Amino acid sequence: MSHATIHAVEAHESPLTPESWGKLGMWIFLAGDAMTFGTLLAGYGAIRAGALDWPVPAEVLGIPLTGFMTFLLICSSVTMVKGLSAIKQGNVERMNLFLGLTILGGVIFLGLQAYEWTHLIHRGMHLSSNPWGNYLFGTTFFTITGFHGAHVTGGVIYLGVIVFRGLRGKITKEKANLVEIAGLYWHFVDLVWILVFTFVYLI
Amino acid sequence: MNKPDINSEAKSDAHVASLEPNYIGVFWWLVGLTIAELLVAVVPIGPMYPKIVQAALLIGLALGKAGLVALYFMHLKFEKRTLGVIALTPLLICTLLIISLLPDLTSTPRASQKAKAAQTENAAEAVAELP
């Protein structure tokens, strides 16, 4: 069987066959990651529903600060799509600028999260205790926001590598797919924060 | 050697730009929904505005925002249906997980305390109705 025949068979082999295997791979990874976050949030809900002395999050956690952090991640998602748009038009400098802004948004987010954690730790909130009520309040808070923060850190590094490659001229219009795949990860981090903000801070 | 057709390239770039969703429009929707969430969260809970209504509104707004990000920023609206199925699978599994946790939630200390309080209230009412 010739190569051409094999390709022809592969292209119609499965309805999953995508335009980009990398994109499909990223989506499958994100689906797995979403289940991890989903399990964490469902577990949080179950623990909270069963606790009699759960503190009111809005009275303990800084809602204006985290509201601003949410706004920051939304802005960084816009700069991310603008960066993708730029590379699709072959403008590497503009892509680097927008991805740089996205990274900046991520770094500021992490800085604010570090500030929030430090502040809460100074007020007596720890993994196994807190002065306001059920001890699992601190455990769930640090686990969920920490897991999300680790994802933001991963995203900042990931985008840093893309910008580094862009500066070296290794990202071109033809390789816009790489930026799109990185963007999927970044938007997922934003999407998860939207849910974490609602479940952990607002409800 | 063929020279690249600059005009057709510029047209193609303009075509790429015109195919994009209105990202700024989506951004303003997300900002508006976030402000709505904050307003819903700060309104004091009371008999006219119970906690369950507040939680339902907040979850609805959050799911709306998450949907906008997935559909427009992650381009799910413009992708093959199979990618949509992959994206929706975790949501389905997590919903099943929450349903499977429901029996646990109804047998928790909080639930049993509420049931006990309701029993006591009923008993008190019954005593009050006695001649």
Mean pLDDT for back-to-back runs of 10 residues, chain A (203 residues): 47 60 90 93 88 89 93 96 95 96 97 96 92 92 96 97 94 92 96 95 92
Q: How far is B11 from chain A (nearest CA, A)?
A: 10
- pLDDT attached to residue A160: 97
Please say if the pLDDT value at position B6 is more than 50: no
Phi, psi dihedral angles at B9 (to 5 degrees)? -65, -45
Find the mean pLDDT for residues B6-31.
Answer: 72
Of A121-130, A184-193, B14-23, B86-95, least confident by mean pLDDT is B14-23
Tell me whether residues A35 and B109 touch, CB distance under 8 A: no
- pLDDT attached to residue B83: 84
- pLDDT attached to residue A114: 97
Please say if the pLDDT value at position B108 is more than 70: no
Q: How far is A69 from chain B (nearest CA, A)?
A: 11
Please say if the pLDDT value at position B80 is more than 90: no
- pLDDT attached to residue A21: 83
Q: How far is residue B4 from each of residues A93, A169, B35, measured CA to CA in Å?
A: 21, 20, 49
- pLDDT attached to residue B84: 86
Winning range, highest mean pLDDT, from A139-148, B47-56, B71-80: A139-148
Tokens 């020279």 label which residue?
A: B3
Q: Is B58 on the interface with A (CB under 8 A)?
A: yes
Find the mean pLDDT for residues B11-18.
Answer: 56
Q: Coil, strand, or helix at residue A182? A: helix
Q: What is the dihedral of CA A26, A191, A80, A167, to 10 degrees?
A: -50
- pLDDT attached to residue B82: 82
Find the mean pLDDT for residues B80-100.
Answer: 86
CA angle A62–B52–A47, rounded 5-degree value: 65
- pLDDT attached to residue B3: 45
Give me the residue from B27, B62, B89 closest to A78, CB to CB.
B27
Count CB pairs under 8 A between chains A and B.
131
Contact A184, A82 (CB under 8 A): no
Q: Which residue of A has its CA nearest to B111?
A: A50
Phi, psi dihedral angles at B49 (to 5 degrees)? -140, 75
Q: Is B37 on the interface with A (CB under 8 A)?
A: yes
- pLDDT attached to residue B78: 87
Q: How confident is the model at residue B13 (pLDDT cuts 50, 70, 90)?
A: low
Tell me whether residues A188 and B55 touch, CB distance under 8 A: no
- Using an 8 Å CB-CB cutoff, list chain B residues near A190: 69, 73
Q: How far is B65 from chain A (nearest CA, A)?
A: 7
- Closest to A79 (Cα-Cα) out of A63, A60, A100: A100
Q: Is A28 on the interface with B (CB under 8 A)?
A: yes
Phi, psi dihedral angles at A129 (to 5 degrees)? -160, 160
Q: Which one of B74, B97, B105 makes the best mutation probe of the A interface by having the most chain A beta carbons within 10 Å?
A: B74
Please say if the pLDDT value at position B2 is more than 50: no
Interface ipTM above 0.95: no
- pLDDT attached to residue B131: 60
Please say if the pLDDT value at position B102 is more than 70: yes
Q: How confident is the model at residue B17 (pLDDT cuts 50, 70, 90)?
A: low
Contact A124, A131 (CB under 8 A): yes
Q: How confident is the model at residue B16 (pLDDT cuts 50, 70, 90)?
A: low
- Using an 8 Å CB-CB cutoff, list chain A residues near B41: 58, 63, 202
With left for phi above 0 and alpha for psi between -120 and 50, is residue B49 left, alpha or beta?
Answer: beta
Tell me whether residues A78 and B38 touch, CB distance under 8 A: no
Tokens 């005593």 label which residue?
A: B127
Tell me whether residues B73 and A80 touch, CB distance under 8 A: yes
- pLDDT attached to residue B107: 67
